[in-house]
Amino acid sequence: MKIRILGTAAGGGLPQWNCGCAGCATARRTGAARTQDCLAVSADGTAWYLVNASPDLRGQLLATPELAPAPGTRDTPLRGVLLTSAELDHTLGLLTLREAAELTVHATLPVRYALHSAFPAGPLLAPYTKAGWQTLAPGRAVELAGGLRAEPLALGGKLPRYAADLPGEGWEGRTDWVCGFRFSTADGRASAVYAPGLAAWTPELDRAVAGAGVVVLDGTFSTDDELAGHTGGARSSRGMGHLAVRDSLPHLARHPGPRYLYTHLNNTNPLAHPGSPGTEALARALAAAGAAVAEDGMLIEL
Ligand code: MLT
Ligand code: MN
Ligand code: ZN
C-alpha cells in the first residue's frame, strides 16, 4: 500500500491568506507552508484514490508524480474520491476535478445529501463530467480498484456550518457526518487508518488502529482551549468536533505499534510552528507515543 499525503493543514491552510499572526507571518517569510488536508492511497501503486478534495487540490495533484496521467493521454491513475466529511476544506476541490472523463465519489448518506443540496457540488459537476455517487455506510467495507479495501468508521455528528439549516428530518444527530477510513490490501498484509476529524475516541477506533501500520489522525488543535486562547472566544476544540492532540495522546499509548501522524493542523497549533513556545514539550510527548507531525508530500509505503 502507498499513501501520499497531499496536504496537512486545517481549513484556511498555513499561512491563511488573511491572517497576520506570528505563525502565519513566519510561514509567509520562510515558506514553511501547509496546504489543506487530504491524501491519496493505492493498494497496488497503480490505481489511486483521493481521500478528500481540498481547495488546494490542483497544486497538490501537480506536485504528485504518482497522479500524473500516462504520457500523451488523458488516462489518469485516479479511480475515485472518498470523503471523510462534507466540510468545505474537504470538498471544494471536487469542482477542480470537473475535467475528469468520469468521477466516482464515495460518501456517507448525509455527506451526499449536503453535496446535493446546501453545497450542490453534485448538480454543479453533472454537466462537466460523468459523476457517479456511491453511498458509504459505517462498518461496511467497500472493495475498490487495485485490491484496496476501505472500511468507513463513523466519527462524528458535526454538520458543516453551511448545512446547518438543511431541510428534512433526521440529518442532525447522525454520527456519520464525519467518518474515517481503515484501508487494507486484499491480502490483509497492510493497513492504515485516516481520521482527520475525530470528535472523540471510540471503541471502533480502538479496533481500527489495532494492527495498523500507520494512523493519520486529527491534529487540528494541540489542546482543547487552544483556539479560545488565541481568539479570546469560547470555542473548544471538542466543541468543533476535534479531539485535541493532548487528549488523543493517552489513547495512542494504549495502542503502541502503528506509526502515528497528526494532520489537519490549524494555523494556531504550535506543532505547525517548530521552535515556537510550547512546541518542545509537545514534540517530546509525541515522540514518546511513536507519533510525529505529517508533512505535505510525505510518501508512506506499507
Ligand atoms: C473543521 O474541520 O472543523 C471545519 O473544516 C471547520 C471549517 O472550515 O468550518
Ligand atoms: Mn476541516
Ligand atoms: Zn495565523
The answer to whether 271 and 282 have CB atoms below 8 angstroms apart is yes
- Cα of 24 vs centre of ligand 3, distance in Å, is 4
* HSE-CB of 13 using CA atoms within 13 angstroms: 23
CA distance 232 to 26: 22
Residues around the ion ligand 2 (C-beta < 5 A): 10-11, 87, 89
Residues of the chain with pLDDT under 50: none
Q: Is 177 helix (H, G, I), strand (E, B) or coil?
A: coil
| Residue 214 in contact with ligand 1 by CB distance below 6 A | no
What local confidence, expressed as pLDDT, does residue 230 receive? 81
* Nearest residue to 12 via CA among 81, 63, 88, 86: 88
Residue 142, beta-bridge partner list? 150
- Cα of 282 vs centre of ligand 2, distance in Å, is 22
What local confidence, expressed as pLDDT, does residue 110 receive? 97
- Cα of 45 vs centre of ligand 1, distance in Å, is 31
CA distance 6 to 160: 22
| pTM exceeds 0.95 | yes
* Nearest residue to 115 via CA among 82, 150, 88: 88
- Cα of 89 vs centre of ligand 1, distance in Å, is 7
CA distance 193 to 207: 11
Task: Classify residue 108 as exposed, middle or buried by CB count within 10 Å of its CB (0-12, 13-18, 19+).
Answer: buried
What local confidence, expressed as pLDDT, does residue 210 receive? 95
The answer to whether 90 and 50 have CB atoms below 8 angstroms apart is no
Instruction: Indicate which atom in ligand 1 lies nearest the CA of residue 161.
Output: 9
Q: DSSP label at 69?
A: P
Domains of the chain: which residue ranges? 2-301
Burial profile 19-44: b = 16 or more Cβ within 10 angstroms, e = fewer? beeebbebbeeeeeebbbbbbbbbbe
CA distance 244 to 124: 35
Instruction: Indicate which atom in ligand 1 lies nearest the CA of residue 11.
Output: 8
Instruction: Indicate which atom in ligand 1 lies nearest the CA of residue 158.
Output: 3
**Identity of residue 51:** V
CATH of 2-301, one of 3.40.640.10, 3.40.50.720, 3.60.15.10, 3.30.2350.10: 3.60.15.10
Q: DSSP label at 139?
A: T
Return all residues near 65 (Cβ < 8 A) that are at least 6 apart.
Answer: none
Mutate to test the pocket of ligand 1, among 14, 88, 111 (most ligand atoms within 8 A of CB): 88
- Cα of 11 vs centre of ligand 2, distance in Å, is 5
Neighbours of 247 (CB within 10 A): 18
* Nearest residue to 133 via CA among 162, 117, 111, 155: 111
Q: Is 278 helix (H, G, I), strand (E, B) or coil?
A: coil
What's the grid cell of residue 215? 494512523
CA distance 89 to 72: 32
What's the grid cell of residue 128? 462537466
The answer to whether 194 and 183 have CB atoms below 8 angstroms apart is yes
| Residue 161 in contact with ligand 1 by CB distance below 6 A | yes
Instruction: Indicate which atom in ligand 1 lies nearest the CA of residue 264.
Output: 2
**Identity of residue 224:** D
What local confidence, expressed as pLDDT, does residue 266 receive? 96
Return all residues near 264 (Cβ < 8 A) that are at least 6 apart.
Answer: 8, 9, 10, 37, 196, 197, 218, 219, 220, 242
